Structure 1
Amino acid sequence: MKLSSVRATCIAALTCAASMTAFAQQPTTLYVASYGGSTETAFREKLIPQFEAKNNVKIVYVAGNSTDTLAKLQAQKGKQELNVVLMDDGPMYQAVQFGFCDKLGDMPVLKDLYPVARMTDSAVGIGVIATGLAYNVEAFKKANLPAPDSWEALTDKRFAQKVAIPPISNTYGLHVLLTFARLRGGDYKNIDPGFTAMTREVGPNVLAWEPSPGKMAELFQNKDVLLAAWGSGRVQALKDTGFPVQFVIPKEGAPALLTAACPVAGNSAPALSRAFVQYLLTPEVQTVLADTQGWGPANSATKLAPAVAAKVPYGKEQVDRLLPTDWKTVNEKRAEWTNRWNRTVER
């Protein structure tokens, strides 16, 4: 063989080998659907880069609320483009029911989770938020009122037209309905006592059934309301602005709202998807989510600095006071309850 032919063959072989090596090193792309706003910022700046570097993966963050993400899963049924999804626990249970979530598999970290975070074998809570009471500390002090410690504060006539509660379309509002059903002798399957309480006892005190976090904050800042039913994370965000608001877990207990995650069934990278969910449950990531998002750790092995621990539901004693929601029953009844709420509570 001529020297020129040998050279050409070697060059071609080297080029092919280099191309194959480059191809082998191309990172896998993982599509993660989660919340926008501060959550997206925290993921992009503090969480994603570390996972990408360790796993030779490129993560594409798809921002949207829980309803948006569930709608994407439904639209892509049978040809899923998303690999991992984060949603509120209610929509996540729907995703599990519809078969959109893959099995979590044998993740060692699962043994460290609080019981409330162990949702199903294909979805898991990664952050714990409490639905409770928020009140204007300065206004209460000025009026010589004791700090509220019970859900019954929402029925106190001293707060007529000074209360704000999200509507039933918002998980916080739904939690209030379920709580008063329980307090008045009902439950998920006997919701009538809850509607009666909301209509006759709580409703007269409510100035606004407000779903928007921004507008809820404005109601407090303008002193239009002194008391609200709201989430611990939302209250902490308002408190961080310097406003004198305080969150309370009522003595009767507080419903837990979980930020949940699952690997998507039938996705293109199942092992990496499970690895990302496991990564979100590590104490290191749980600490970041507590500090930046106000999500209480789902992993009981997480150790928070006192300043961060004060912001979130933290530790066995606090987490044990949070009440799980029977989302299977709720999701079956929610449309019916929403129509009834609109006719009777927010009429």
Structure 2
Amino acid sequence: MKKVMKSFLVLSILMLVLAACSSKEETKGNKKAELIVSTWGFSEDFFRANIYEPFEKEHNVKIVLDTGNNADRLNKVRQGNTDVDIIFLSDYYAQQGVTEDLFEKLDSSKIPNLEKIYDVAKAPVGEGYGPAYTIAQFGIAYNADEVKQPITSWENLWDKDLKNKITIPSITSTTGPMFLDAASKITGIKEFDEDKAFNEMKKVMPNVVKEYGQTSEFVNMFSQGEIVAGPIMGMYFASLQEAVPNAKFVTPSEGGYAVMNTVNVVKDSDQKDLAQEFVNYMLSKEVQEKSAKEKVDSPVNTEVVLTEEEAVNMTYGEELIKSLNTLDMKYVNEQSKTWIDRWNRELVQ
């Protein structure tokens, strides 16, 4: 009898273990796959409702966000302490990821929407790597009530009338190297000349109240009247105009600069096929049109058509896109340490 009871007990335990394993497998089988997306976190409500949720529904996947600034999020991928599949970065930081072999080369046959975007947006950080899903313009904003004459060129920021009245981006920011390039351009030469650029930077510094590292600093200084002008990305101009209704944004006569926000697949991702589908989705007319009409991101898909009103404050249209200056981000990253050291030695008071 004892043997029978013992055998029954062992059998019961075995059945419970098998049932538990079966239950786990069933749960695992029903669990949605996750696509981890590293991004800035701005306009999160818009992206969640209009971009992420439709993709989740179509692909039976759950999108998990990892938010923060460019540098911090790229460092996580560098250190290998993240499961990120997709990463959104400005071209300056994306180029670092390409150089360090952190990103997967894309299979263009899986991203047919690549053929529908502006040529300049197709491979801004190297052939086969993530495209720009949006292009912002780096130009000049100014308070028309506080300047003696309209600002139309980069050179105007050097005017003596603007002493202690402007801000400029820090050299460590995404747009810092662009302003350094503009300093070279106002000398009348086409090719970048480091010595001439830094010589011009010394001349503009008396006009600079403070350098800004984040756009929110520019907005605060402009809103409070600490500055009357400065270089900024057009996508932030609406915030300036809310505070200062007569604010103006201009593309300088020497040309604005294209700031390209890219989307890349992380090399260590275990969801590479799905990640490439997501890249293709971000370039689709549907997504690009929604983002543009809500004033979230300027479109790179050439099939998107905006009305004059919808295009306000957007970097929109082939003519404007072609007029923008672009920097070789590989060269910028190679020179970055030298420029930062020289900036700190020669310009920082």
CA distance in 2, matches of 1:287, 1:239: 24
Q: What's the CA shift string for 1:221-268, capped at 9, x where partnerless?
A: 222211111111122332245643221111111111111110111311
Q: Find the counterpart in structure 2 of residue 7 from structure 1.
A: none
| Contact map agreement 1:286 1:299 (CA 8 A) in 2 | yes
Q: Find the counterpart in structure 2 of residue 114 from structure 1.
A: 118
Q: What's the CA shift string for 1:129-183, capped at 9, x where partnerless?
A: 111100112334xx4x2x2111111111111111111111112222110122233
| Contact map agreement 1:294 1:311 (CA 8 A) in 2 | no
Report the 3-state secondary structure (helix = DSSP H, G, I; strand = E; otherwise coil) of the residue aligned with 1:207: strand
CA distance in 2, matches of 1:293, 1:345: 36
TM-score if structure 2 supplies the norm length? 0.87
Whichever of the two has the greater Rg, that structure is 2
Q: CA RMSD in A?
A: 2.5
| Contact map agreement 1:165 1:208 (CA 8 A) in 2 | yes
Q: Find the counterpart in structure 2 of residue 124 from structure 1.
A: 131
Match of 1:315 among 317, 320, 333: 317
Question: Is 2:22 the partner of 1:29?
Answer: no
Which sections of structure 1, spanning at least 5 residues, go unmatched? 1-12
CA distance in 2, matches of 1:279, 1:198: 42
Change in 2 beyond 3 A, CA 1:16/1:326? same
CA distance in 1, matches of 2:202, 2:235: 27
Percent identity between matched residues is 27
Change in 2 beyond 3 A, CA 1:231/1:123? same
Q: Find the counterpart in structure 2 of residue 177 from structure 1.
A: 180
Q: Find the counterpart in structure 2 of residue 4 from structure 1.
A: none
Report the 3-state secondary structure (helix = DSSP H, G, I; strand = E; otherwise coil) of the residue aligned with 1:175: helix
Which sections of structure 2, spanning at least 5 residues, go unmatched? 1-17
Structure 1 residues 1-347: aligned runs within 5 Å? 23-36=28-41, 38-76=42-80, 81-106=83-108, 107-118=111-122, 119=124, 120=126, 121-140=128-147, 143=148, 145=149, 147-184=150-187, 185=189, 187-188=191-192, 190-200=193-203, 202-241=204-243, 243-292=245-294, 294-347=296-349
Q: Report the residue type matching 2:143 in the other structure.
A: N
| Contact map agreement 1:39 1:293 (CA 8 A) in 2 | no
Change in 2 beyond 3 A, CA 1:294/1:19? closer
The alpha carbon displacement at 1:53 in A equals: 0.4
Q: Report the residue type matching 1:70 in the other structure.
A: L
Q: What's the CA shift string for 1:260-285, capped at 9, x where partnerless?
A: 11011131110110111111111222
CA distance in 1, matches of 2:296, 2:252: 19
Q: What's the CA shift string for 1:36-94, capped at 9, x where partnerless?
A: 2x233332232111110000000110001110111011010xx7611000011101011
Q: Report the residue type matching 1:163 in the other structure.
A: I
CA distance in 1, matches of 2:245, 2:296: 16
| Contact map agreement 2:121 2:133 (CA 8 A) in 1 | yes
Deviates more, 1:297-306 or 1:154-163: 297-306
Q: Report the residue type matching 1:150 in the other structure.
A: S
Q: Report the residue type matching 1:176 in the other structure.
A: F
Report the 3-state secondary structure (helix = DSSP H, G, I; strand = E; otherwise coil) of the residue aligned with 1:296: coil
| Contact map agreement 2:136 2:298 (CA 8 A) in 1 | yes
Q: Report the residue type matching 1:51 in the other structure.
A: F
| Contact map agreement 2:140 2:231 (CA 8 A) in 1 | yes
| Contact map agreement 2:134 2:297 (CA 8 A) in 1 | yes
